[in-house]
Amino acid sequence: MGVQDHIKKVGVVGAGTMGQGIAQVAAMAGYQVVLYDINKDTLKKAQAAILLNLQKGIERGKVSEELMDQTLDRLTLTDQIMEVTADLIIEAILEDLAVKQQLFADLEAINSPQTYYTSNTSSIPVTQIAAGLNNPARFAGLHFFNPAHIMKLVEIISGSATDPELIQLLQDFTVSLGKTGVVANDSPGFIVNRVARHYYVESLKILEEGVSDVQGIDTLLEATGFPLGPFRLMDLIGIDTNYAVTKSMYRAFHNDPKFRPNRIQQQKVDAGHLGRKSGKGFYEYSQ
């Protein structure tokens, strides 16, 4: 039996940058997808972003008009959580443990006992998120990278109670999306964010100490082979999202100084300068 014998419908919770990208790739791969967000404006923006991504794919010769039409037909957007019933649910909301746990409790109450649950969390250990579930064996981490419709890597994280058969199923699922899945055991930040955190934290320290400016640091690191400098990358990801992950990892590693959040990043968040999505971050962008 193939993965689509087990998973026919995918629910994605959270229609922000990550959720909309995950919903798009799942619909393109042939799955029926329901994309949920409590905010109707966020859903409208997600719908427009997905359409734009598909149109750009057509322009580049990577997506046919037929595939675009099929993808849009498979995709349902809703602000009603009762409509989020699926074989596999992928959560992509803010990095807040209590909020995630409450969400999964609500989802478990309306879904089949056979439903699988996953979180796109960047840093919170999946064992903690699954602790409140009736059946934590059916829960794992499924961490995509931004932009999800382009980036190939997906981290598949096994919690302490995760059924090994679910990990295999998620490996097959990521392959069906055209992605490369890497299995990791549960730990704050998993593999990529634990290693990459210092790319941001140390760059912010250099900026704070006046060693160089934003553009200088980005230019130097891009010249050494990084596709994007740390400040351009934070603007792309969302400075608020990046800051939330840093805070989460700082707490998870018992306030280890090497993960300390930076006040410059906090000031950007406080000012609403969140990067590309707000039109201004470390750089300015035309909307």
Asked if residue 171 lies in contact with residue 135, where contact means CB atoms within 8 angstroms, the answer is no
Residue 233 has pLDDT above 70, yes or no: yes
What is the rounded average pLDDT of the residues 160-189? 95
Tokens representing 248 are: 């989460």
Active-site entry in 111, 119, 120, 143: 143
Q: Is 208 a catalytic residue?
A: no
Active-site entry in 119, 122, 123, 158: 122
What does the domain layout of the chain look like in residue ranges? Answer: 3-185, 192-278
Q: Quick one: fold of 3-185?
A: Rossmann fold (3.40.50)
Q: Is 242 a catalytic residue?
A: no
Q: Is 254 a catalytic residue?
A: no
The pLDDT assigned to 209 comes to 96
Q: Is 143 a catalytic residue?
A: yes
The pLDDT assigned to 25 comes to 98
Active-site entry in 155, 158, 203, 273: 155
Helices (H) and strands (E) in the chain, counts: 12, 8
Residue 1 has pLDDT above 80, yes or no: no
Active-site entry in 53, 158, 193, 262: 193
Q: What is the dihedral of CA 287, 49, 245, 22, to 10 degrees?
A: -170
Q: Quick one: fold of 192-278?
A: N-(1-d-carboxylethyl)-l-norvaline Dehydrogenase; domain 2 (1.10.1040)
What is the rounded average pLDDT of the residues 109-124? 95
pLDDT tens column, 147-160:
899 999 999 999 99
* Residue 77 identity: L
Q: How far apart are CA 189 and CA 73, in angstroms?
A: 35
Of the candidates 192, 90, 97, 85, which has an alpha carbon nearest to the alpha carbon of residue 139? 90
Residue 287 has pLDDT above 70, yes or no: no
What is the rounded average pLDDT of the residues 213-218? 97
- Does the pTM of the predicted model rise above 0.85? yes
